[in-house]
Amino acid sequence: MQQETIKDYSQDGRTFKLRAILALVIVTLVLFILLGRVYFLQVVEYDRYAAISDRNRIQLQPVPPRRGLIYDRNGILLADNQPTFSVTLLREEISNIDETLEALTDLIEISDRDVERFRQRLQQRRRPYETVPLRFRLTEEEIAKISVNYHQLPGVQVEADLIRYYPFGASAVHALGYVGRINERDLETLDPVKYAGTNYVGKLGVERFYEPILHGEVGFRKVETNARGRVLRVLEQQDPTPGADIQLSLDLRLQQFTEKLLEGRRASVVALDPKTGGILALVSTPTYDPNLFVMGISHADYTELQEDLDIPLFNRAVRGGYKPGSTLKPIMGLAAIDSGTVRPDYTIWDPGYYQITPGGRRYRDWRRGGHGRVNLPTAIAQSVNTWYYDVGHRMGNEPMARYLRKFGFGQITALDTPEAITGVLPTAEWKRATLNEPWYPGDSVNMSIGQGFVVVTPLQLAIAANVLANRGQWQQPRLLKGVVETTEEGEVLTLPDIVESRPVPEDVVVTNPSFWDPIIKGMVDVVHGPTGTARRVGQGMQYQMASKTGTAQVVALPDDGRYRPDELSERNRDHALFIAFAPVDDPKIALAIVVENGGGGSSVAAPIARQVMDAWILGEYGDEEEELDDGES
Amino acid sequence: MVSRDFQRTMPGASTHFRRAPSLWSYTHLDAWLLLLLLMLCGYGLFVLYSASGQDIGDVKRQAIRMGAGFFMLIFLAQVKPRTLVTLTPWLYLFVLALLVAVMLFGVSAKGAQRWIALPGFRFQPSELMKLVLPMAVAAYLVRDQLPPSFKQVIVAVLIMAIPTALIMKQPDLGTSLLIASSGVFVLLLSGLYWRYVLGALAVIGACLPVFWGFMKPYQQQRVLTFLNPESDPLGAGWNIIQSKTAIGSGGLSGKGWLQGTQSQLNFLPESHTDFIIAVIGEELGFYGIAFLLVLYLLIIFRGMILAMRAHDRFARLLAGSITLTFFVYVMVNIGMVTGLLPVVGVPLPMISYGGTSIVTLMSGFGILMSIGAHAQSKQRA
């Protein structure tokens, strides 16, 4: 028994040893597998994991460039950058957005509107690891509150940003445009590298057109961050190149003066410097404050602007399409004599109407009894329709359209008004293509006095006035005076290549330079002649002004051809138009005015022109009462 | 063999062949194992300083725990295996009662109810079970002939299953896994018939779907994440991706102590507890991990040698189980961190920050040393 027990135990012992050794073999094997696994990770896959590890900790952060500033011609700052602090959230680092928002709401003031707009921005497509702003313009106290609680708010950051600020608010907004936050649509066209750190882009106007110059070149910063995305140190930095400052030919004082003159009206004034083609003022009223748009306009503000019947967002100066009316007559006159249709001294008898065929439809002059004998200068000064009906009919569509084109109609000639429209310059082909109708002689008759199919913008009218002022010589119409460049001699203005992007039309060359004389004479007589349509504004004028009034019908006249403004509601009244340049022998300003539903060009538009010119030429910016007058075409 | 048998059949004969009692035989400590454990602890503190974000306070607290662990080791080395056998049934019932108490009045933390709070401190009865369970299984098996009969196996499995189930309910998957395996090792080392082993494997395989149903959602998530960590790189898969990245980016020689970007910049979660080997991998590289694995391997070899030397059946089953359970810690932890196994909360023995496991492990080594020291003097059950 004893023996057996002993034997049993040794048998147990052997079994135990066998199993123990088997266990050791397995243990050794497993440890080698683990070591092999570690070898695989650390040696075989080393490059891959080293790269992931670097990507974890090293981030290439774009450093946005400072946006170039915009000055007026006298160096007044029109578009500035202001430092502001905003609180932003990094989606990738936040597990529960709602909790984070709640925590932030306890710390700083966040309105429901902020949250709503934040969620909108969150929905939009954005670059990975791009922060989404929640609230802008933090106070120092708010920044401090967030900073103290940083550790409890992963993914929350206070970011300093330079935000565009327009110190003169609504002034010149239709020229400057504005910048706004980059949205989904912008992302489709913008270079993702160049705009890596940029949150704002020019949306309209000069801000949009000179975006490549104003934006600058992005810089980069290699930073080491911890797992919560906080930057621990900067490993490498390549500074951004700030955007260039630009100076406009726009004169803020004239701009604001003109804006004031147009206050309460739906109107537009564009004034150019005939020597350079520089735009001195580009006014469209009513207007709006671009600062609202920079950080994203609120729904309520936007609705208000949208629903305003006077459509302040509408840039009348470059997008407003109007019938030019009689303002085209100087060009029609030049077309008639330069095309050889009639001689410069061509004279007609005006009975008060014109008929293409005897007994046919009567095209009426604005004066019922007619003007009697009428030559070209008289036809301009007194705006005699009959003279134009006659030569228009003789010329037909082609010369009229050709000469209008020479003066910039039907095309965009201004360099830096990116929203400008071409208007309509009707030709026989155009009519065939759009209306599927032939060009009738009656169309030529209508076109000769700027009615019918022609549609022009105030900017185009001002440019045409400018070409008239220069007797056919073109200067590129543009807002830009130059790009500010710092050289050894200080700051100089240079013209960027972008100026070449729009070719300047060829000068209007006439067969005989003397052909200009009856045109200019007629335009001078509009104000200075004893029977000129705008002779009242010429009283006491210290310089000579050449001009042309115009009136564009908004509703068709009744059959008797009488215009009864009192019977028409305000919005159905005629538009008042006026083009002018002065002084005649050495033009310093050329302009165009359109006052919607203003009534007549001479009564409403001409006095405004006088005040703008007095201001520019004589420096008289005094607050004069507008002279209201009626009568004329 | 003959001489061994001779020695064995001649009580007291061995003493004549032995040298004079040394310091080691006097203290019942095993010099090799002690040296290896000290190296391991030293290495652990060295790594912890970096992994804790250079928090010397953490290192001190850990050192104090290690001190407590060594105290337990020395104390338990003095307890004779025979004494343990007699105490085992009572210990088992006592700890089982504690586990039930945990379930009824335990303290919760992080969604798990694992602790019993006593004035001044709190402890996890499940840690005690890590030591008591293999003792209970071994003590039960050696009451009869080995290899165990079918009935014995069933009873042994019951002894294991009750505490395992209680701990799994806490829930603490890691600990229940360690406890269950400590019991299984006893069974395997006792010479369990292979046909039982195969049968058990078949039953477990069949029960896996049922088991899945009993798992908590977060545990299921861990398994799913393990199967495809890239499915949720910022959520549940984050830990594994980051730990693999930390280890992989360390390369052969590592980024240098305190220089690991993954661990120092907080990309690595749990960097000073369960995922600490990723810190070793990142900062000390392949060599750092290889060194650690060699230490572990030597400890396991030494433990198994001590087990094999023991002539007492209870003692050697217990010693073998303690050693192999230690190995399970290593395997599960490193397997998890390197992405070979699903995430299970098992610390890296002696290295991970945290008190209870170190004291328990040291206690186990104390028992192991006692078994080693009493190997020759005790022969029979």
B341 vs A: CB within 8 A: no
- Which CATH class for the A60-246 domain? alpha beta
Confidence of residue B71 (pLDDT cuts 50, 70, 90): very high
Task: Please report the residues numbered 299 through 338 in chain B whose beta carbons come closer than 8 angstroms to any beta carbon of chain A.
Answer: 300-301, 304, 307-308, 311, 313, 316-317, 320, 324, 327, 330-331, 334-335, 338
What is chain A's Cα-based Rg?
36
Residue A146 identity (one-letter amino acid): I
Contacts of B185 in chain A (CB under 8 A): 23
Residue A574 has pLDDT above 70, yes or no: yes
Among A58-72, A84-98, A276-290, B167-181, where is mean pLDDT lowest?
Answer: A84-98
| Dihedral (CA of B369, B177, B164, B109) sign | positive
What are the residue boundaries of the structural domains of chain A, listed by start?
60-246, 253-292+315-618
Q: Are B281 and A38 in contact (CB under 8 A)?
A: yes
pLDDT number for residue A261: 93
Q: What is the pLDDT of residues A427-460, one digit of tens each?
A: 999 999 999 999 999 999 999 999 889 999 999 9
- Report whether pLDDT(B218) > 80: no
* C-alpha span between A276 and A249 (Å, rounded): 9
SS3 A168: coil
Pairing between strand A70-71 and A246-248?
parallel
The pLDDT value recorded for residue A561 is: 54
b/e per residue A508-525 (b: at least 16 CB within 10 A): bebeeeebbebbbbbbbb
CA–CA min distance A226, chain B (Å) = 4
Helix (H) or strand (E) holding B277: helix B276-309
Nearest to residue B250, comparing CAs of B241, B239, B261, B240? Answer: B261
Top-confidence range, A50-59, A595-604, A623-632, B302-311: B302-311
Nearest to B304 among A9, A13, A24 (CB): A24
Q: Determine, for residues A37 and B338 on separate chains, whether the beta-carbon distance falls below 8 Å.
A: yes
pLDDT of residue B10: 52
Output the pLDDT for position A127. Answer: 58
Residue A565 has pLDDT above 70, yes or no: no
- pLDDT, position A560: 56
Count of CB pairs separated by less than 8 Å, A with B: 146
A31/B296 CB distance under 8 A: yes
| ipTM of the modeled complex | 0.89
The confidence score (pLDDT) of residue B44 equals 95
Residue B84 in tokens: 């343990």
Backbone angles phi, psi at B350, to 5 degrees: 70, -10
Closest residue to A12, CB basis, from B191, B245, B300: B191
The proportion of chain A whose per-residue pLDDT surpasses 90, expressed as a percent, equals 56
pLDDT, position A226: 75
Q: How far is the C-alpha of A473 from the C-alpha of A406, rounded, in Å?
A: 10
Mean pLDDT to the nearest integer, B184-213: 88
The answer to whether the beta carbons of residues A414 and A427 sit under 8 Å apart is: no
Q: Which two tokens stand for residue B289?
A: 């991990």
Among residues B357, B362, B346, B175, the alpha carbon closest in space to that of B270 is found at B346
Answer for the pair A218, A194: CB distance below 8 angstroms, yes or no. Answer: yes
What CATH number was assigned to the domain covering residues A253-292+315-618? 3.40.710.10
How far, in Å, CA of A206 to CA of A245, rounded?
Answer: 12
Q: Please report the pLDDT score of residue A8 as a whole number.
A: 52
pLDDT at B163 over 60: yes
Q: Could you tell me which residue, A296 or B91, shows the higher pLDDT?
A: B91
User: What chain B residue is nearest to A46 in terms of C-alpha separation?
Assistant: B248
DSSP state for residue A456 in the 8-state scheme: B
Q: What is the mean pLDDT of residues A333-351?
A: 93
Q: Kindly tell me the sign of the dihedral angle through the C-alpha atoms of B358, B363, B364, B366.
A: positive
DSSP designation for A272: E
More confident residue, A251 or B377: A251
pLDDT digits 0-9 by tens, A193-203: 888 888 889 99
Q: Which of B245, B323, B333 to mutate to test the interface with A (most CBs of A within 10 A)?
A: B245
pLDDT in tens, A484-500: 988 888 888 899 999 89
Percent of chain A at pLDDT > 70 equals: 93
CB B312 within 8 A of CB B351: no
Using pLDDT thresholds of 50, 70 and 90, give the confidence band for residue A121: confident
Domain boundaries in chain B?
33-78+231-381, 87-215
Question: Is A7's pLDDT higher than 50?
Answer: no
d(CA A551, CA A524): 18
Give the mean pLDDT of chain B: 86
**Residue among B185, B189, B252 minimizing CB distance to A42:** B252
Q: What is the pLDDT of residue A56?
A: 81
Give the tokens for residue B376: 């020759």
Do A42 and B261 count as a contact with CB atoms less than 8 A apart? no
Pick from B233, B98, B318, B146: nearest CA to A92:
B233
Mean pLDDT of B82-109: 89
Q: How far is the C-alpha of A314 from the C-alpha of B305, rounded, in Å?
A: 93
CA B194, B198, B201: angle at the middle one, nearest 5?
140
Which among B367, B292, B299, B296 is positioned nearest to B33, based on CA atoms? B299
Distance CA B193, CA B187 (A): 10
Tell me the C-alpha distance between A384 and A371, whole Å. Answer: 7
Q: Considering only residues A78 and A302, tell me which one the structure prediction assigns the higher pLDDT.
A: A78
Q: Which residues of B133-170 are buried (b: 16+ CB within 10 A; e: fewer)?
A: bbbbbbbbbbeeebbbeeebbeebbebbeebbebbbbb
Identify the pLDDT of residue A630.
40
Measured distance CA(A248)–CA(A252) in Å, rounded: 10
Q: Say if A44 is an interface residue toward chain B (CB within 8 Å).
A: no
**What pLDDT is recorded for position A5?**
44
Residue A352 has pLDDT above 80, yes or no: yes
Answer with the residue of higher pLDDT: A570 or A320: A320
Out of A12, A45, A226, name the one closest to residue B146 (CB): A12
Q: pTM above 0.80?
A: no
What pLDDT score does B209 carry? Answer: 83
- Determine whether the interchain pair A42/B247 forms a contact, defined as Cβ–Cβ distance below 8 Å: yes
Q: What pLDDT does residue B108 have? A: 76
Q: What is the rounded average pLDDT of the residues B128-135?
A: 94
Residue A632 predicted with pLDDT over 60: no
Residue A451, Cβ neighbours under 10 Å: how many?
Answer: 20
pLDDT digits (tens, 9 = 90+) for B345-370: 889 999 999 767 899 999 999 999 99
Selected residue of A48, A49, A150, A226 to mutate for chain B interface (largest B Cβ count, 10 A): A49
Q: Residue B102: how many CB atoms within 10 A of its CB? A: 21
pLDDT digits (tens, 9 = 90+) for A204-240: 999 999 999 999 999 888 888 777 667 778 888 889 9
Cis ω before A530 (30° cut-off from 0)? no
**Crossing angle of the two packed helices B31-51 and B276-309, in degrees rounded to 10:** 170
Tokens of B65: 């725990």
* A249, A268, A326, A383: the active-site residue: A326
How far is the C-alpha of B295 from the C-alpha of B288, rounded, in Å? 11
d(CA A453, CA A437): 13
Taking alpha carbons only, the member of A501, A520, A509 closest to residue A474 is A509
Q: Determine whether the interchain pair A226/B189 forms a contact, defined as Cβ–Cβ distance below 8 Å.
A: no
Listing DSSP states for B281-350 in one string gives HHHHHHHHHHHHHHHHHHHHHHHHHHHHH--SHHHHHHHHHHHHHHHHHHHHHHHHHTTSS-----PPTT
Is A326 marked active-site?
yes
Residue B217 preceded by cis peptide, ω within 30 = no
The model's pLDDT over B224-248, given as tens digits with 9 standing for 90+, comes to 777 766 666 656 577 888 899 999 9
Confidence of residue B305 (pLDDT cuts 50, 70, 90): very high
DSSP helix/strand/coil, B193? coil
User: What confidence score (pLDDT) does residue A126 get?
Assistant: 62
Which B residues in the span 2-61 are in contact with A, Cβ-Cβ below 8 Å? 5, 8-9
Can you give the pLDDT at residue A6?
45
**Which tokens sit at B13?**
């004969």
Pairing of strands A219-225, A231-238: antiparallel
- Residue to mutate among B142, B188, B249, with most A CBs inside 10 A, is B249
Of B102 and A131, more confident: B102
**Contact status, residue A284 vs residue A290, Cβ threshold 8 Å:** no
pLDDT recorded at residue A129: 64
Between the ranges A38-42, A150-154, B261-265, where is the mean pLDDT highest?
A38-42
Residue of chain A whose Cα is closest to the Cα of B190: A16
Instruction: Check if the beta carbon of residue B78 is closer than 8 Å to that of residue B370.
Output: yes
Helices (H), ranges, A216-350: 252-261, 291-294, 299-307, 316-319, 329-338
- Residue-averaged pLDDT of chain A: 88
Within A34-103, strands assigned E span 58-63, 70-71, 77-89
Q: Quick one: which of B81, B67, B77, B75 has its CA closest to B30?
A: B77
